[in-house]
């Protein structure tokens, strides 16, 4: 018998009995994170983009099937041009990087939800390319809500149905004409705010909410685990 057994390293990634099939994340608090440090707001977005990379990767490693990140709302265009340009630059950097590594090597799918109108053509081309290159991937689907509004999504679904000639519609008709995101099981919102802010209005009808005071750039894997532990304990009744 060996005198010394090698001490097993504690597993870094906990196991969960149940995971949300679709997790929504509102990436909030970048501006406050920067302000606290006397930095320009775009420094907060840059750090937020790093958190996005880490959390998206972790969700995929955990095996969550769909994750939707609220990255830029239809209202965010009202922000100063410099800030909007900075955020768009971060998307572009991510997409160029995704093209190099993630898209070629990984088996996760990238989908953009939101309206293409108003987005620069070079970015649209990269978005289309990322979607095309990952279309056959079947691990985690990472939805990036960009130029997204929940009300706009419902209105556009109804308009599609009107164009088809429908005069009466069902819930299933609307569901089938939304962007390709399934029912959302849980929404995480950091930064202390407790509102939905026009995110996944239709899909979140029975979502569990999880709030935290931590600002998005400081959000860690451990925060994600806490949210998922909480989700395990929720008793979901879907109105029944
Ligand atoms: C909300 O925080 C955040 C945004 C409107 C932008 C989110 C963008 C990123 C995290 C970068 C995304 C990059 C990639 C690659 C996906 P806020 O600015 O409203 O913060 P505040 O409420 O503290 O002012």
Whole-angstrom distance, CA of residue 64 vs CA of residue 58: 9
**Residues whose CB is less than 8 angstroms from the CB of residue 103 and which lie 6 or more positions away in sequence, other chains included:** 110, 130, 133, 134
Distance in Å, CA 187 to ligand 1 centroid: 16
Whole-angstrom distance, CA of residue 205 vs CA of residue 116: 25
- Identify the pLDDT of residue 8: 55
Of 1-15, 20-34, 80-94, the range with the lowest mean pLDDT is 1-15
Whole-angstrom distance, CA of residue 16 vs CA of residue 58: 13
Q: Taking Cα atoms as reference points, which of 142, 143, 144, 169 lies closest to residue 155?
A: 169
pLDDT over 50 at 136, yes or no? yes
- Identify the pLDDT of residue 120: 96
- Identify the pLDDT of residue 3: 45
The structure's pTM equals 0.93
Q: Which of 30, 84, 189, 191 to mutate to test the pocket of ligand 1 (most atoms within 8 A of CB)?
A: 30
The binding-site residues of ligand 1, defined as CB within 6 angstroms of any ligand atom, are 27-32, 45, 48-49, 52, 71-72, 76, 87, 90-91, 94, 144
* Sign of the C-alpha dihedral computed for residues 143, 148, 150 and 155 taken in this order: negative
- Identify the pLDDT of residue 104: 60
Distance in Å, CA 161 to ligand 1 centroid: 33
- In the chain, beta strands by DSSP E: 22-26, 66-73, 109-113, 141-148, 186-189, 208-211
pLDDT digits (tens, 9 = 90+) for 58-67: 999 999 999 9
**How many CB atoms are closer than 10 A to CB 128?**
12
N-to-C CA span, the chain: 57
Q: Which of 87, 114, 196 to mutate to test the pocket of ligand 1 (most atoms within 8 A of CB)?
A: 87
- Identify the pLDDT of residue 103: 58
DSSP 99: I
Whole-angstrom distance, CA of residue 142 vs CA of residue 176: 19
pLDDT category at 186 given cuts 50, 70, 90 is very high
Maximum pairwise Cα distance, the chain: 79
**Residues with catalytic annotation?**
28, 76
pLDDT over 90 at 100, yes or no? no
CB 86 within 8 A of CB 45: yes
Q: What percent of the chain has pLDDT over 90?
A: 83
pLDDT category at 1 given cuts 50, 70, 90 is very low
């Amino acid at each position: 018998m060996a005198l010394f057994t090698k001490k097993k390293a504690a597993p870094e990634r906990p196991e969960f009995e149940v995971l949300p099939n679709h997790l929504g994340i509102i990436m909030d608090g970048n501006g406050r994170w920067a302000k606290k440090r006397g930095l320009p707001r775009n420094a907060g977005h840059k750090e937020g983009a790093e958190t996005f990379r880490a959390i998206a990767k972790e969700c995929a490693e955990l095996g969550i099937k769909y994750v939707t990140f609220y990255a830029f709302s239809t209202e965010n265009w009202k922000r100063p041009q410099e800030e909007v340009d900075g955020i768009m630059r971060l998307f572009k950097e991510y997409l160029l990087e995704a093209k190099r590594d993630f898209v070629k090597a990984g088996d996760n799918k990238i989908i953009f939800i939101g309206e293409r109108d108003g987005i620069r053509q070079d970015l649209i081309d990269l978005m289309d390319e990322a979607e095309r290159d990952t279309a056959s991937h079947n691990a985690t689907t990472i939805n990036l809500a960009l130029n997204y509004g929940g009300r706009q999504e419902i209105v556009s679904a109804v308009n599609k149905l009107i164009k088809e000639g429908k005069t009466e519609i069902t819930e299933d008709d609307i569901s089938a004409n939304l962007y390709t995101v399934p029912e959302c099981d849980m929404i995480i919102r950091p930064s202390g705010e407790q509102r939905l802010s026009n995110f996944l209005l239709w899909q979140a009808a029975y979502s569990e909410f999880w709030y935290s005071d931590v600002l998005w750039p400081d959000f860690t894997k451990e925060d994600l685990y806490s949210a998922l532990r909480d989700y395990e304990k929720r008793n979901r009744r879907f109105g029944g």
